[in-house]
Chain A
Amino acid sequence: MTKSEIEERIQRALREKRQGTTHVNTPYLYPTVETPANTYFFPQSSNIVVASETSSLSKLVAETREQMRKEQRAAKTTFNNIERNFYVRDWSLPTVSESFHHQLSADQQIDLSEVGSGVHDQLPLLKAAEPPMSNASSAPAAGNAPLPPPPEAVVVQRAPAAQLHHLAKRILEPEVYQRYVEPHLADMWLQYNEALRRRDDREARRVVLRGYFEVLKPLLYGALRMIVRWWMRAGG
Protein backbone atom coordinates (compact mmCIF):
# COMPACT_ATOMS: atom_id res chain seq x y z
CA MET A 1 0.00 0.00 0.00
CA THR A 2 1.45 3.31 -1.00
CA LYS A 3 1.45 6.52 0.96
CA SER A 4 -1.03 8.11 -1.41
CA GLU A 5 -3.44 5.21 -0.95
CA ILE A 6 -3.27 5.62 2.80
CA GLU A 7 -3.81 9.33 2.49
CA GLU A 8 -6.75 8.64 0.22
CA ARG A 9 -8.19 6.37 2.88
CA ILE A 10 -7.77 9.02 5.52
CA GLN A 11 -9.45 11.57 3.31
CA ARG A 12 -12.29 9.18 2.60
CA ALA A 13 -12.74 8.51 6.29
CA LEU A 14 -12.85 12.23 7.00
CA ARG A 15 -15.41 12.71 4.23
CA GLU A 16 -17.53 9.86 5.50
CA LYS A 17 -17.27 11.19 8.99
CA ARG A 18 -18.55 14.53 7.78
CA GLN A 19 -21.50 12.78 6.19
CA GLY A 20 -22.11 11.01 9.44
CA THR A 21 -21.59 7.51 8.09
CA THR A 22 -18.55 6.61 10.14
CA HIS A 23 -18.46 6.23 13.86
CA VAL A 24 -15.47 7.83 15.38
CA ASN A 25 -13.35 5.67 17.61
CA THR A 26 -16.29 3.82 19.04
CA PRO A 27 -15.15 2.17 22.21
CA TYR A 28 -16.08 -1.39 22.84
CA LEU A 29 -16.29 -3.71 25.77
CA TYR A 30 -13.67 -6.36 26.10
CA PRO A 31 -14.83 -9.76 27.25
CA THR A 32 -15.29 -9.80 30.96
CA VAL A 33 -12.41 -11.44 32.72
CA GLU A 34 -13.29 -13.55 35.70
CA THR A 35 -10.69 -13.82 38.37
CA PRO A 36 -10.56 -15.57 41.73
CA ALA A 37 -11.57 -12.34 43.41
CA ASN A 38 -14.51 -12.09 41.07
CA THR A 39 -13.26 -8.81 39.71
CA TYR A 40 -14.64 -7.45 36.52
CA PHE A 41 -12.47 -5.79 33.98
CA PHE A 42 -13.98 -3.53 31.43
CA PRO A 43 -11.10 -2.25 29.40
CA GLN A 44 -11.93 0.56 27.06
CA SER A 45 -9.32 1.83 24.70
CA SER A 46 -6.38 2.39 26.96
CA ASN A 47 -8.29 2.57 30.20
CA ILE A 48 -9.45 -0.35 32.23
CA VAL A 49 -12.37 -0.05 34.55
CA VAL A 50 -11.90 -2.22 37.59
CA ALA A 51 -14.88 -2.99 39.67
CA SER A 52 -14.84 -5.01 42.80
CA GLU A 53 -17.43 -7.62 43.58
CA THR A 54 -19.22 -5.15 45.79
CA SER A 55 -20.26 -3.13 42.78
CA SER A 56 -23.58 -4.04 41.41
CA LEU A 57 -23.71 -4.94 37.77
CA SER A 58 -26.21 -2.24 36.89
CA LYS A 59 -23.99 0.39 38.45
CA LEU A 60 -21.07 -1.01 36.54
CA VAL A 61 -22.97 -0.90 33.28
CA ALA A 62 -24.05 2.69 33.96
CA GLU A 63 -20.49 3.69 34.72
CA THR A 64 -19.26 1.95 31.61
CA ARG A 65 -21.85 3.68 29.44
CA GLU A 66 -20.94 7.02 30.91
CA GLN A 67 -17.29 6.36 30.17
CA MET A 68 -18.15 5.31 26.62
CA ARG A 69 -20.01 8.55 26.12
CA LYS A 70 -17.05 10.49 27.46
CA GLU A 71 -14.68 8.64 25.16
CA GLN A 72 -16.93 9.24 22.19
CA ARG A 73 -17.10 12.93 22.95
CA ALA A 74 -13.34 13.09 23.36
CA ALA A 75 -12.80 11.18 20.14
CA LYS A 76 -15.11 13.49 18.23
CA THR A 77 -13.32 16.52 19.61
CA THR A 78 -10.00 15.04 18.61
CA PHE A 79 -11.25 14.27 15.15
CA ASN A 80 -12.69 17.76 14.74
CA ASN A 81 -9.41 19.24 15.86
CA ILE A 82 -7.57 17.16 13.32
CA GLU A 83 -9.92 18.20 10.56
CA ARG A 84 -9.59 21.82 11.51
CA ASN A 85 -5.84 21.67 11.75
CA PHE A 86 -5.03 19.76 8.61
CA TYR A 87 -4.44 21.60 5.42
CA VAL A 88 -6.97 20.99 2.71
CA ARG A 89 -4.63 20.82 -0.25
CA ASP A 90 -2.71 17.83 -1.49
CA TRP A 91 0.44 18.56 0.37
CA SER A 92 -1.49 19.18 3.50
CA LEU A 93 -2.75 15.68 4.12
CA PRO A 94 -1.52 13.90 7.17
CA THR A 95 1.94 12.97 6.10
CA VAL A 96 3.75 9.74 6.62
CA SER A 97 7.28 10.56 7.50
CA GLU A 98 9.98 10.04 10.01
CA SER A 99 8.23 12.28 12.44
CA PHE A 100 5.91 9.39 13.11
CA HIS A 101 8.53 8.28 15.53
CA HIS A 102 8.03 11.43 17.44
CA GLN A 103 5.77 11.23 20.42
CA LEU A 104 3.08 13.82 20.04
CA SER A 105 0.34 14.81 22.40
CA ALA A 106 -3.03 13.14 22.42
CA ASP A 107 -4.75 15.74 20.28
CA GLN A 108 -2.22 15.13 17.54
CA GLN A 109 -2.99 11.45 17.29
CA ILE A 110 -5.34 9.63 15.04
CA ASP A 111 -6.26 5.98 15.12
CA LEU A 112 -5.62 4.64 11.66
CA SER A 113 -7.67 1.56 12.39
CA GLU A 114 -10.65 3.75 11.58
CA VAL A 115 -9.58 4.08 8.00
CA GLY A 116 -8.97 0.45 7.28
CA SER A 117 -7.25 -2.65 8.43
CA GLY A 118 -3.75 -3.72 7.62
CA VAL A 119 -2.38 -0.22 7.37
CA HIS A 120 0.16 -0.75 10.09
CA ASP A 121 1.55 -3.96 8.66
CA GLN A 122 1.98 -2.75 5.15
CA LEU A 123 3.71 0.50 5.71
CA PRO A 124 7.19 0.15 7.16
CA LEU A 125 7.53 3.86 7.79
CA LEU A 126 4.60 3.87 10.11
CA LYS A 127 5.62 3.15 13.60
CA ALA A 128 2.93 2.69 16.16
CA ALA A 129 3.37 4.82 19.19
CA GLU A 130 4.06 3.06 22.43
CA PRO A 131 0.75 1.75 23.70
CA PRO A 132 -0.42 3.53 26.81
CA MET A 133 0.42 1.91 30.11
CA SER A 134 -2.20 -0.65 30.86
CA ASN A 135 -3.62 -1.14 34.29
CA ALA A 136 -3.63 -4.87 33.68
CA SER A 137 -0.08 -5.33 34.80
CA SER A 138 -0.61 -3.42 38.01
CA ALA A 139 -3.94 -4.89 38.93
CA PRO A 140 -3.48 -7.41 41.70
CA ALA A 141 -6.26 -9.72 40.63
CA ALA A 142 -5.59 -9.73 36.94
CA GLY A 143 -5.66 -13.51 36.69
CA ASN A 144 -4.11 -15.54 33.96
CA ALA A 145 -6.43 -14.57 31.14
CA PRO A 146 -4.50 -12.34 28.75
CA LEU A 147 -6.18 -9.08 27.95
CA PRO A 148 -6.29 -8.00 24.35
CA PRO A 149 -3.90 -5.16 23.69
CA PRO A 150 -5.37 -1.68 23.51
CA PRO A 151 -5.91 -0.31 20.02
CA GLU A 152 -2.77 1.05 18.50
CA ALA A 153 -2.47 4.77 18.32
CA VAL A 154 -0.56 5.93 15.30
CA VAL A 155 0.86 9.37 15.41
CA VAL A 156 0.13 11.53 12.43
CA GLN A 157 2.13 14.62 11.90
CA ARG A 158 0.17 17.83 12.10
CA ALA A 159 1.00 20.72 9.87
CA PRO A 160 2.58 23.60 11.76
CA ALA A 161 0.64 26.84 12.01
CA ALA A 162 -2.39 25.35 10.35
CA GLN A 163 -4.71 27.95 11.88
CA LEU A 164 -2.59 30.75 10.50
CA HIS A 165 -2.66 29.12 7.10
CA HIS A 166 -6.45 29.01 7.12
CA LEU A 167 -6.73 32.60 8.34
CA ALA A 168 -4.33 33.92 5.68
CA LYS A 169 -6.04 31.95 2.96
CA ARG A 170 -9.41 33.28 3.99
CA ILE A 171 -8.56 36.96 4.17
CA LEU A 172 -6.01 37.31 1.37
CA GLU A 173 -6.36 37.07 -2.38
CA PRO A 174 -4.83 33.87 -3.78
CA GLU A 175 -2.06 35.75 -5.57
CA VAL A 176 -1.13 37.76 -2.49
CA TYR A 177 -1.24 34.66 -0.35
CA GLN A 178 0.98 32.68 -2.70
CA ARG A 179 3.49 35.45 -3.10
CA TYR A 180 3.88 36.69 0.47
CA VAL A 181 2.60 34.15 2.96
CA GLU A 182 2.97 30.68 1.48
CA PRO A 183 6.79 30.82 1.21
CA HIS A 184 6.92 31.64 4.93
CA LEU A 185 4.74 28.67 5.73
CA ALA A 186 6.96 26.49 3.55
CA ASP A 187 10.06 27.60 5.42
CA MET A 188 8.31 27.00 8.70
CA TRP A 189 7.26 23.54 7.57
CA LEU A 190 10.81 22.68 6.59
CA GLN A 191 12.39 23.85 9.82
CA TYR A 192 9.64 22.37 11.94
CA ASN A 193 10.14 18.94 10.40
CA GLU A 194 13.90 19.20 10.70
CA ALA A 195 13.51 19.95 14.40
CA LEU A 196 11.14 17.02 14.85
CA ARG A 197 13.52 14.74 13.02
CA ARG A 198 16.20 15.74 15.51
CA ARG A 199 13.61 15.17 18.25
CA ASP A 200 14.16 18.71 19.36
CA ASP A 201 10.72 19.50 20.68
CA ARG A 202 11.67 22.89 22.03
CA GLU A 203 13.14 24.00 18.73
CA ALA A 204 10.00 22.85 16.90
CA ARG A 205 7.84 24.97 19.17
CA ARG A 206 10.22 27.88 18.72
CA VAL A 207 10.00 27.56 14.93
CA VAL A 208 6.22 27.75 15.03
CA LEU A 209 6.22 30.69 17.42
CA ARG A 210 8.82 32.56 15.37
CA GLY A 211 6.91 31.67 12.22
CA TYR A 212 3.78 33.35 13.56
CA PHE A 213 5.67 36.59 14.16
CA GLU A 214 7.40 36.45 10.80
CA VAL A 215 4.18 35.95 8.92
CA LEU A 216 2.57 38.94 10.60
CA LYS A 217 4.42 41.46 8.44
CA PRO A 218 3.66 39.89 5.06
CA LEU A 219 0.14 39.23 6.23
CA LEU A 220 -0.42 42.89 7.06
CA TYR A 221 1.38 43.98 3.90
CA GLY A 222 -0.73 41.68 1.78
CA ALA A 223 -3.98 42.80 3.43
CA LEU A 224 -3.08 46.47 3.03
CA ARG A 225 -2.11 45.96 -0.58
CA MET A 226 -5.37 44.21 -1.27
CA ILE A 227 -7.38 47.04 0.31
CA VAL A 228 -5.53 49.64 -1.76
CA ARG A 229 -6.18 47.66 -4.90
CA TRP A 230 -9.89 47.39 -4.12
CA TRP A 231 -10.04 51.09 -3.41
CA MET A 232 -8.32 51.92 -6.69
CA ARG A 233 -10.56 49.54 -8.57
CA ALA A 234 -13.57 51.25 -7.06
CA GLY A 235 -12.32 54.52 -8.50
CA GLY A 236 -10.97 56.04 -5.31
Chain B
Amino acid sequence: MSRNEWPTPTEMMVMRILQGKPRGAYGLEIVAASNERVKRGSVYVLLGRLEEKGFVRVLKTRPEPGYDGPPRPQYQLTAEGTRVMTAAEAIGMSFSVGHA
Protein backbone atom coordinates (compact mmCIF):
# COMPACT_ATOMS: atom_id res chain seq x y z
CA MET B 1 0.00 0.00 0.00
CA SER B 2 1.42 3.36 -0.96
CA ARG B 3 2.27 5.82 1.76
CA ASN B 4 0.99 8.69 -0.37
CA GLU B 5 -2.46 7.25 -0.89
CA TRP B 6 -5.15 9.82 -0.13
CA PRO B 7 -7.26 8.91 2.89
CA THR B 8 -10.85 7.79 2.46
CA PRO B 9 -13.69 9.92 3.90
CA THR B 10 -13.96 7.69 6.97
CA GLU B 11 -10.23 7.88 7.51
CA MET B 12 -10.50 11.65 7.11
CA MET B 13 -13.09 11.68 9.86
CA VAL B 14 -10.77 9.76 12.17
CA MET B 15 -7.96 12.17 11.33
CA ARG B 16 -10.22 15.10 12.05
CA ILE B 17 -10.96 13.69 15.49
CA LEU B 18 -7.27 13.13 16.12
CA GLN B 19 -6.56 16.69 15.01
CA GLY B 20 -8.65 17.86 17.95
CA LYS B 21 -6.64 15.69 20.35
CA PRO B 22 -3.02 16.77 20.02
CA ARG B 23 -1.94 14.62 22.95
CA GLY B 24 -3.31 11.49 21.33
CA ALA B 25 -6.46 9.43 21.74
CA TYR B 26 -7.42 5.84 22.45
CA GLY B 27 -9.47 3.86 19.97
CA LEU B 28 -12.56 3.94 22.17
CA GLU B 29 -12.29 7.73 22.47
CA ILE B 30 -12.32 8.00 18.69
CA VAL B 31 -15.41 5.79 18.51
CA ALA B 32 -17.16 7.95 21.10
CA ALA B 33 -16.10 11.21 19.44
CA SER B 34 -17.45 10.04 16.10
CA ASN B 35 -20.88 9.40 17.62
CA GLU B 36 -20.48 5.72 16.77
CA ARG B 37 -20.11 6.49 13.07
CA VAL B 38 -16.79 4.74 13.33
CA LYS B 39 -17.61 1.27 14.62
CA ARG B 40 -15.73 -0.33 17.43
CA GLY B 41 -14.99 -3.33 15.24
CA SER B 42 -13.36 -1.27 12.50
CA VAL B 43 -11.65 1.55 14.35
CA TYR B 44 -8.34 -0.29 14.70
CA VAL B 45 -8.45 -1.41 11.08
CA LEU B 46 -8.81 2.25 10.08
CA LEU B 47 -6.08 3.37 12.43
CA GLY B 48 -3.81 0.58 11.23
CA ARG B 49 -4.29 1.67 7.63
CA LEU B 50 -3.62 5.31 8.56
CA GLU B 51 -0.50 4.22 10.37
CA GLU B 52 0.68 2.38 7.28
CA LYS B 53 0.05 5.46 5.18
CA GLY B 54 2.08 7.51 7.62
CA PHE B 55 -0.71 9.84 8.74
CA VAL B 56 -1.00 8.47 12.25
CA ARG B 57 1.50 7.13 14.72
CA VAL B 58 1.19 5.01 17.82
CA LEU B 59 2.33 6.66 21.01
CA LYS B 60 4.40 4.66 23.43
CA THR B 61 2.83 5.76 26.66
CA ARG B 62 2.98 4.33 30.13
CA PRO B 63 -0.18 2.51 31.14
CA GLU B 64 -2.56 4.22 33.49
CA PRO B 65 -2.15 3.30 37.14
CA GLY B 66 -4.13 0.22 38.03
CA TYR B 67 -4.22 -1.06 34.48
CA ASP B 68 -2.30 -4.27 33.99
CA GLY B 69 -3.76 -5.61 30.77
CA PRO B 70 -2.37 -5.82 27.24
CA PRO B 71 -0.65 -2.73 25.85
CA ARG B 72 -3.27 -0.10 25.04
CA PRO B 73 -2.11 2.09 22.19
CA GLN B 74 -2.78 5.80 21.87
CA TYR B 75 -2.85 7.36 18.43
CA GLN B 76 -1.64 10.75 17.32
CA LEU B 77 -1.64 12.60 14.03
CA THR B 78 1.77 12.86 12.36
CA ALA B 79 3.13 15.96 10.66
CA GLU B 80 2.24 14.40 7.32
CA GLY B 81 -1.27 13.76 8.54
CA THR B 82 -1.59 17.36 9.65
CA ARG B 83 -0.42 18.53 6.23
CA VAL B 84 -3.03 16.34 4.55
CA MET B 85 -5.72 17.80 6.78
CA THR B 86 -4.60 21.35 6.01
CA ALA B 87 -4.58 20.60 2.28
CA ALA B 88 -8.02 19.04 2.46
CA GLU B 89 -9.40 22.06 4.25
CA ALA B 90 -7.76 24.36 1.73
CA ILE B 91 -9.49 22.67 -1.18
CA GLY B 92 -12.77 22.72 0.69
CA MET B 93 -13.23 19.06 1.39
CA SER B 94 -15.83 18.40 4.02
CA PHE B 95 -15.68 15.49 6.40
CA SER B 96 -18.11 16.02 9.17
CA VAL B 97 -17.99 14.32 12.50
CA GLY B 98 -21.14 13.25 14.23
CA HIS B 99 -24.47 14.62 13.12
CA ALA B 100 -23.69 16.64 10.06
In the bound complex, CA of A216 to CA of B39 (Å): 13
* Residue of chain A at shortest CB distance from B67: A190
* Residue of chain B at shortest CB distance from A191: B28
> Which residues from A are CB-within-8-Å of B4?
none
> Which residues from A are CB-within-8-Å of B40?
187, 214
Q: Is the CB of B45 within 8 A of A217?
A: yes
Q: Is the CB of B70 within 8 A of A221?
A: no
> Which residues from A are CB-within-8-Å of B73?
182-183, 186
In the bound complex, CA of A59 to CA of B51 (Å): 70
Q: Is the CB of A183 within 8 A of B27?
A: yes
Q: Is the CB of B69 within 8 A of A179?
A: no
Q: Distance (Å) between the CB of A169 and the closest chain B CB?
A: 11
Q: Is the CB of A216 within 8 A of B41?
A: yes
Decide yes or no whether B86 CB sits under 8 A from chain A.
no
Interface majority SS (helix, strand, loop, mixed), chain A:
helix
Decide yes or no whether A97 CB sits under 8 A from chain B.
yes
> Which residues from B are CB-within-8-Å of A181?
44
Supposing A187-B27, A217-B42 touch, asked if A91 and B68 sit within 8 A by C-beta, the answer is: yes
Q: Which B1-49 residues have a C-beta within 8 angstroms of A?
A: 26-28, 40-42, 44-45, 48
Decide yes or no whether B72 CB sits under 8 A from chain A.
yes
Q: Is the CB of A184 within 8 A of B68?
A: no
> Which residues from A are CB-within-8-Å of B67?
190
In the bound complex, CA of A178 to CA of B60 (Å): 13
Interchain CB contact (< 8 A) of B72 among A87, A190, A216: A190
> Which residues from A are CB-within-8-Å of B27?
183, 187
> Which residues from B are CB-within-8-Å of A190?
67, 69, 72
> Which residues from A are CB-within-8-Å of B69?
91, 159, 185-186, 189-190, 193
Q: Is the CB of B70 within 8 A of A218?
A: no
Q: Is the CB of A180 within 8 A of B68?
A: no
Q: Is the CB of A221 within 8 A of B72?
A: no
B56-73 contact mask (Cβ, 8 Å, vs A): 1 or 0: 000000000011111111
> Which residues from A are CB-within-8-Å of B66?
97
Q: Which A27-78 residues have a C-beta within 8 angstroms of B?
A: none
Q: Is the CB of A97 within 8 A of B44?
A: no
Q: Is the CB of A189 within 8 A of B70?
A: yes
7 contacting pairs across A/B (C-beta < 8 A): A87-B70, A178-B71, A180-B48, A181-B44, A182-B70, A215-B41, A217-B41
Which A residues fall within an 8 A CB radius of B?
87, 89, 91-92, 95, 97, 159, 178-187, 189-190, 193, 213-218, 221
Which B residues fall within an 8 A CB radius of A?
26-28, 40-42, 44-45, 48, 51, 66-73
Instruction: Please give 5 more A-B residue pairs, beta carbons under 8 A apart, in addition to A182-B73, A186-B73.
Output: A97-B66, A179-B48, A184-B44, A187-B27, A189-B70
